[in-house]
Structure 1
Amino acid sequence: MKLGFIRHGQTNWNAEDRLQGSSDIPLNDVGREQARDAVAVLGTSTWDVVVSSPLSRARQTAEIIASGLGIELGQSYGELIERDYGQAEGMRVADSENLWPNKTGGGIEPLESVVARGRSAIERIAADFPGKNVAVVCHGTIIRYTLSALAGHRFDSIHNGSISLVDNDSGSWKVQSINGEEVSSTLTE
């Protein structure tokens, strides 16, 4: 089984460097184009279904990808919603850092909670689609920290429209690529 984690396409808040978290912000024109670009990259492999976070920016990206690949648009998973940034939602990143350094305080969801939701989503998707290759459209923070936890290595930011691959061919989840770039084989769980 293979999972392809795709970060949703760009929104106006991404372009303005604002924290969107669980706020439901739609894709902009650049984001829709990034979703179409992801279709071309994903088309080099075989995918069975596309699932997503229920937030509109992820769902819209998933719809574009499913249509472009000619595959099923599956359900959305609440566990895949982006980190809740509490009082910082809608703020520019730099401004939020002045108030809540390292994104702690202000009602910001702890990273441990984000990773736990990400792991739970992987388990549910694997149970819902055993042996299938699933494209999973969600959000940068949940992808970054969930895959970092799986790999035992902290990855840098996840780009809009990028694809990161994991598989469980060896019986446990292994991160194969981040932002479309192969992960060093020296990383372990």
Structure 2
Amino acid sequence: MTVITLVRHGQTDWNMLGRVQGRTDIPLNDTGRAQAREAAEALRHGGYAAVVSSPLSRARETAEIIAGVLGVPGPALYDGLVERDYASAEGMTSEDLWKLQRRAMGPDAESDEAVATRAVAALRDAAAAHAHVDGPLIAVAHGSLIRVLIALASDGEFPRPGERVENGSQHAFRLDDDGLSLLSYSAVPAD
């Protein structure tokens, strides 16, 4: 059994503008860097052993900041932790999507099932690679991926309708042979 805390990367300019990022590699802004430091402080006394991350720069930099503050190794990068592929919707605002397609994710976005399958596989790989360390892991990833894992691990009970996963938020999971279980999450009501 491994405890893994998933942290959403800090804010980017596209987050601020409400643009769908997906796999587009948008860097953190200064607010995002501050959120990464705040997340690290919130995790400081958790006994974490290492940090892993999506390879996208916004997640990787968040992970680097957290690892630096906590003085733990990382980040090891896992492709399976990248954000959902939104395909043609990337760069659009949610408002644009609703006007044009009436689908929040766009017609050719990666499915929840595909996101969950690759993300859980990446977490299993990270847990196996860090089996020699004593303590839980931190995995820095993306909002949609984390939402999918929260829903999977809570049998759809969470997040509740209208809740969002904030930049820099932390969500604890247990990963074992039976799958992923939700230990805690910090989604907040949407504006």
TM over 0.5: yes
Shift of 1:39: 0.9
- Once the two structures are TM-superposed, the CA of residue 77 in structure 1 deviates from its matched residue by 0.5
Q: Which residue of 1 aligns with 2:85?
A: 84
**Residues 170 and 75 of structure 1: is their aligned pair in 2 closer, same or farther, counting only changes over 3 Å?**
closer
Q: Which runs of 4+ in 1 moved over 6 A?
A: none
Q: Does 1:27 align with 2:28?
A: yes
Structure 1 position 51 matched with structure 2 position 58: no
**Does the CA-based 8 Å contact 2:6-2:138 persist in structure 1?**
yes
Q: Which amino acid letter does the alignment assign opposite residue 12 of structure 1?
A: D
Q: Find the residue that maps to 1:35 and give its secondary structure.
A: helix
Does structure 2 retain, via aligned residues, the 8 Å contact 1:104–1:110?
A: no
Q: In the alignment, what sits opposite 1:67?
A: 68
Closer, same or farther in 2 for the Cα pair 1:173/1:114, shift >3 Å?
Answer: closer
8 Å CA contact 2:150, 2:182 repeated in 1: yes
The whole-number CA distance in structure 2 between the counterparts of 1:19 and 1:8 is: 14
1:185 alignment counterpart:
none
2 CA distance for matches of 1:38 and 1:122? 20
Partner residue, 1:139: 142
On the 8 A contact 1:18/1:92 being kept in 2, the answer is yes
Q: Percent identity?
A: 39
TM-score normalised to structure 1 length: 0.88
Distance 1:105 1:91, change over 3 A: closer
Residue matched to 1:96: 97
C-alpha separation in 2, matches of 1:168 and 1:17: 32
Q: Give the conservation status (yes or no) of the 8 Å contact 1:18–1:91.
A: yes
Shift of 1:58: 0.1
| Partner in structure 2 of residue 158 of structure 1 | 165
Question: Relative to 1, partners in 2 of residues 1:94 and 1:36: Cα closer, same or farther, differing over 3 Å?
Answer: same
Question: Would the alpha carbon gap of residues 180 and 128 (structure 1) be closer, same or farther in structure 2, given more than 3 Å must change?
Answer: farther
- 1:180–1:171 distance in 2 versus 1, CA, 3 Å: same
Question: More deviation in 8-17 or 138-147?
Answer: 138-147
Matches within 5 A, 1:163-178: 163-168=170-175, 172-178=179-185
Gaps of 5+ in 2: none
Which amino acid letter does the alignment assign opposite residue 44 of structure 1?
H
* Structural RMSD (CA): 2.0
1:47–1:71 Cα contact (<8 Å) kept: yes
- Structure 1 spans left out of the alignment, 5+ residues: 182-189
167-176 vs 128-137, greater mean Cα deviation: 167-176
Describe the SS at the equivalent of 2:74. strand
Which residue in 2 is equivalent to 1:149?
152
Q: Return the alpha-carbon distance in structure 1 between the equivalents of residues 81 and 175 of structure 2.
A: 19
Shift of 1:111: 1.6
